[in-house]
Amino acid sequence: DADVTQTPRNRITKTGKRIMLECSQTKGHDRMYWYRQDPGLGLRLIYYSFDVKDINKGEISDGYSVSRQAQAKFSLSLESAIPNQTALYFCATGTESGANVLTFGAGSRLTVL
Amino acid sequence: DQQVKQNSPSLSVQEGRISILNCDYTNSMFDYFLWYKKYPAEGPTFLISISSIKDKNEDGRFTVFLNKSAKHLSLHIVPSQPGDSAVYFCAASPGSNYKLTFGKGTLLTVNP
């Protein structure tokens, strides 16, 4: 099994729908992140959490929310999806001592019609 | 404002030759730099890092060079292999445990 598992891997939805992307990890890492990748824009940070009680906005948090249900679980929600949220979403984990060596999931491709 | 810039969207090299991927940054607070590699349908994976107290770090075929005065780093792959074909992301942070800022990536193609 993968160290960082993202579900669903692919999702097509319609404008206005609520969507949740889930991430679970078996690394035992405290830190979890959600990134978004768009063609030509690289990876941009949406939200991050350094422990279960810690949630922080990244550079593009508008339109998104997150929940850290447990150390191993970090979910990303789109309350009302819009077409420009069509992207590839990555969850990642890390540790305080890990010097930004992150472990990424395989990605969740979201298409909003 | 793009703080980490990878100005070459793509690079093509012959197998066995050197690949040089470049990255520039604008934030003078950045002092820790990493390269990640990404294959299609997979998440990025960590490749190599360098702290600003060094100007070079080597790991097998991969070497990262840092020029702090020019705010420039480069990744050298010698010799290049077809399996190195991937997107390479440069990333930077102000310290080794602060959130990363990524560049847009460079697609490297190594031709047999």
Q: What is the DSSP string of A15-26?
A: TT--EEEEEEES
- What tens digit of pLDDT does each residue of A5-16 get? 999 999 999 999
In eight-state DSSP terms, residue B17 is S
> B92 with B3: CB under 8 angstroms?
yes
Confidence band for A76, pLDDT divided at 50, 70 and 90: very high
Share of chain A above pLDDT 70, in %: 99
Calpha distance B26→A8 (Å, rounded): 36
> B88 with B35: CB under 8 angstroms?
yes
Q: Does B23 touch chain A (CB under 8 A)?
A: no
Average pLDDT over residues A84-110: 92
A-chain CB neighbours of B46 within 8 Å are: 101-103
User: Which chain B residue shows the shortest CA-CA distance from A49?
Assistant: B99
Q: Does B103 touch chain A (CB under 8 A)?
A: yes
Whether the per-residue pLDDT at B4 is higher than 80: the answer is yes
Whether the per-residue pLDDT at A1 is higher than 70: the answer is no
Average pLDDT over residues A86-96: 94
Average pLDDT over residues B9-26: 97
**Mean pLDDT across chain B, nearest whole number?**
95
Q: Does B102 touch chain A (CB under 8 A)?
A: yes
**Mean pLDDT across chain A, nearest whole number?**
94
Q: For residue B3, how far is the Cα from the chain centroid?
A: 14
**One-character DSSP codes across B58-105:** EETTEEEEEETTTTEEEEEESS--GGG-EEEEEEEESSTTS--EE---
Comparison of pLDDT for A62 and B1, the residue scoring more: A62
Report the pLDDT value the prediction gives residue A42, as an integer from 0 to 100: 86
